């Protein structure tokens, strides 16, 4: 409680000290307030013009072209337009179209004009999506309206022009890239073809070298196995022929004219095929493809039959020995001859397979390098082909998008509030400035009075003296001319109140004039 009391006494002492130095408050208020009030009153009126525009991003074609054409994000486009609207090039266009550039006559002044204009034009987005406000303030209301109108026109026309320019630029870029990748693709195809022709024996079209070697090896083993099986079959047939345990049933039989008739395994097929040809000739001519094919097959079967008969006679000896053979022995002879022919053919194939395997083994040291080169060439060709096809698809999508942009205005600008010539000034904020000057005038005075009261303190209580000297105050002596001092103090208070009242009255008159939109400077000057 005692501390609170001390604090209150200290504050009261500060106030008494400031009150004793109140002349400094009057001095500062009269130095600051009239000058500030006059300066603010003489500030020119500023008129603000603004326009409100709504950007409609809805498009009927957007859902229809989904996945077919390149679709940009309208929101991103609007944001980009808003950011680039006040670029230096655009601001120069606004200054030129609104005749602001004729007000300057040198490069430095023109540069300052463009900078000030760029900072003065405001483009703000309201709380609702895609609603933008364009505003500009100037001493000339007609000029303010003109600048806002030019900015609005640039905002609308620039977006459409940018879309078309972007589309044209993209098309030219795609065409250049397509031509370049087409050249690359042709070169890659040529390199790959040359490589395949050079190493076709090592790297076939399908499969690697090792898979090819394994395949040839498997074919060789299969051929050897087939030869062994056929040789076993010949051995078995010769064993049957030499055993003498043969029964008549198939082979050479005596006809009615005592002429031997050779029966082979092709006879039944030839007979069936001849019947088919007869049936086909009843329906078609000899030039029909089915008839020609059947005749070709018949000729092949007859040729095979004759070859088998000739082989039989060459193995059997002369006609007399052949006639003495039993029918079954004759058939076995024919079968032995046929199988031995197959064995001979398979041995030729075996020789070819061995040569092929040996050739592949001789080139096995080149395989890693050649396979690496082949992989690189195929990879390069695949990537180039993929990029080329992607560019073609993008070109088609870009062309479709360009046509869609021409046929439908994806961004539609609707002016909600057009710019108008303002009839009332929007600035400067004189009420706020007047209040600030008034507070500053008295505040500076109070601060100065407090500072002087601390530098040259005046003691108004005995406790203050005790606190400063540490000696007790035993009594107080009243001034002899107390009435004169009181009259002087009352006069000082009257002057202070009159001075402060004059400042406050001046402030009130200026505020009232501002509220009533009365320009005191124009009226009295």
Q: For residue 118, what are its two tokens?
A: 């760029």
Which residues neighbour 90 within 8 Å (Cβ) at sequence distance 6 or greater?
84, 154, 158
Owner of token pair 């009130």: 508
Domain contains 479: yes
User: Is 192 inside a domain boundary?
Assistant: no
Same-domain check for residues 101 and 32: no
pLDDT score for 63: 47
**Measured between alpha carbons, how far is 15 from 456 in angstroms, rounded to an integer?**
14
Residues 265 and 304 in one domain: yes
Assess whether 369 and 481 both reside in one domain: no
- What DSSP string describes 473-525? -------TTHHHHHHHHHHHHHHHHHHHHHHHHHHHHHHHHHHTT--HHHHH-
In a shared domain, residues 216 and 356: yes
Contact by Cβ (8 Å): 419, 51:
yes
Q: State the pLDDT at residue 57.
A: 63
Does 359 lie in the same domain as 274? yes
Confidence (pLDDT) at 174: 76
Is the residue at 188 inside a domain? no
Q: Please tell me whether residues 113 and 140 are part of one structural domain.
A: yes
Q: Note whether 102 and 141 are same-domain residues.
A: yes
Q: How many domains does the chain have?
A: 3
Rg (Cα) of the chain, in Å, rounded? 58
Same domain, 446 and 410: no
Task: Give the residue from 377, 406, 439 where a domain finishes.
Answer: 377
Q: Is residue 253 part of a domain?
A: yes
Q: What is the pLDDT of residue 402?
A: 60
Residues 56 and 464 sit within 8 Å (Cβ to Cβ) = no
353 shares a domain with 398: no
In a domain, 518, yes or no: yes
Per-residue model confidence (pLDDT) at position 259: 42
Domain identity same for 55 and 27: no
- Confidence (pLDDT) at 438: 94
What domain range includes position 452? 2-43+428-524
Looking at the structure, tell me whether residues 357 and 275 fall in a common domain: yes
Based on the fold, state whether residues 373 and 413 are members of the same structural domain. Answer: no
Which pLDDT score, from 0 to 100, does residue 278 have? 82
The CATH number of the domain holding residue 54 is 3.30.1890
Of the candidates 394, 398, 371, which has an alpha carbon nearest to the alpha carbon of residue 181? 394
pLDDT by residue for the chain (525 residues), tens only, comes to 778 887 887 788 788 888 888 899 999 999 999 999 999 988 888 889 999 888 776 544 444 444 444 445 555 566 666 667 778 888 888 888 888 888 888 888 889 988 998 888 888 877 666 788 889 988 888 998 999 998 888 877 765 555 555 556 667 777 888 888 888 888 888 887 887 777 665 554 445 666 777 888 888 888 888 888 888 888 887 777 666 544 443 343 434 444 445 666 677 788 888 888 888 887 777 777 777 878 888 888 788 777 777 766 665 554 444 444 556 677 777 788 888 888 888 888 888 888 888 877 776 666 667 767 777 888 888 888 888 888 888 777 777 666 655 444 455 777 888 888 888 888 788 899 999 999 999 999 999 999 988 888 776 666 666 776 777 777 766 666 777 878 888 898 999 999 999 999 999 999 998 888 777 776 665
H or E element: which one contains 417?
strand 412-417
Residue 274 lies in a domain: yes
pLDDT for the residue 80 = 66
The predicted structure's pLDDT at residue 414:
78
Which residues, in sequence order, are CB contacts of 327 under 8 Å at separation 6+? 248, 249, 250, 251, 252, 253
Q: Alpha carbon 511 to chain centroid distance? A: 58
Indicate whether 310 belongs to any domain: yes
Residue 33 burial by Cβ neighbours in a 10 Å radius (0-12, 13-18, 19+) = buried
Bridge-based pairing of strands 122-125 and 260-262 is unpaired
pLDDT in the model for residue 501: 93
């Amino acid at each position: 409680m005692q501390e609170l009391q001390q604090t209150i006494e200290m504050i009261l002492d500060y106030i008494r000290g400031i009150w004793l130095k109140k002349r400094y408050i009057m001095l500062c208020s009269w130095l600051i307030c009239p000058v500030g009030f006059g300066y603010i009153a003489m500030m020119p009126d500023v008129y603000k013009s603004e326009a409100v525009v709504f950007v409609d991003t809805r498009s009927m074609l957007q859902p229809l072209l989904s996945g077919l054409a390149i679709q940009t994000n309208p929101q991103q486009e609007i944001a980009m337009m808003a950011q680039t609207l006040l670029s230096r090039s655009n601001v120069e266009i606004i200054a030129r179209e609104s005749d602001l550039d004729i007000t300057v006559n040198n490069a430095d002044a023109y540069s300052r004009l463009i900078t000030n204009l760029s900072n003065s034009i405001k483009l703000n987005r309201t709380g609702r999506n895609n609603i933008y406000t364009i505003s500009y303030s100037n001493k000339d209301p007609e000029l303010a309206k003109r600048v806002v109108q030019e900015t609005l026109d640039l905002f609308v026309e620039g977006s459409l022009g940018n879309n078309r320019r972007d589309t044209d630029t993209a098309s030219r870029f795609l065409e250049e890239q397509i031509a370049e990748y087409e050249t690359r693709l042709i070169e890659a195809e040529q390199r790959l073809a040359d490589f395949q022709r050079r190493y076709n024996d090592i790297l076939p079209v399908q499969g690697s070298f090792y898979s090819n070697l394994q395949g040839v090896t498997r074919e060789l083993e299969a051929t050897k196995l087939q030869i062994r099986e056929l040789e076993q079959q010949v051995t078995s047939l010769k064993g049957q022929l030499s055993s003498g345990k043969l029964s008549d049933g198939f082979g050479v039989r005596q006809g009615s004219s005592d002429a031997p008739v050779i029966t082979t395994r092709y006879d039944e097929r030839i007979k069936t095929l001849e019947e088919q040809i007869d049936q086909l000739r009843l329906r078609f001519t000899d030039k029909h493809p089915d008839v020609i094919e059947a005749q070709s097959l018949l000729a092949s079967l007859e040729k095979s039959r004759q070859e088998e008969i000739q082989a039989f006679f060459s193995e059997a000896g002369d006609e007399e020995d052949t006639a003495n053979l039993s029918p079954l022995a004759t058939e076995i002879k024919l079968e032995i001859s046929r199988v031995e022919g197959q064995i001979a053919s398979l041995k030729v194939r075996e020789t070819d397979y061995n040569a092929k395997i040996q050739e592949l083994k001789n080139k096995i040291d080149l395989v890693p390098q050649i396979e690496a080169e082949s992989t690189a060439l195929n990879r390069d060709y695949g990537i180039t082909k993929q990029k080329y096809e992607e560019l073609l698809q993008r070109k088609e999508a870009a062309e479709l998008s360009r046509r869609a942009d021409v046929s439908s205005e994806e961004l539609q600008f609707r002016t909600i509030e057009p710019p108008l010539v303002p009839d009332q000034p929007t600035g400067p904020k004189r009420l706020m400035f007047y209040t600030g000057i008034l507070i500053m005038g008295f505040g500076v005075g109070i601060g100065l009075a407090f500072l002087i009261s601390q530098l040259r303190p005046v003691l108004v209580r005995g406790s203050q003296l005790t606190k400063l000297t540490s000696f007790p105050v035993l009594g107080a002596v009243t001034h002899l001319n107390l009435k004169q001092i009181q009259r002087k103090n009352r006069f000082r208070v009257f002057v202070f109140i009159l001075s402060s009242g004059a400042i406050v009255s001046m402030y009130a008159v200026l505020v009232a004039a501002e509220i009533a939109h009365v320009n005191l400077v124009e009226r009295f000057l």
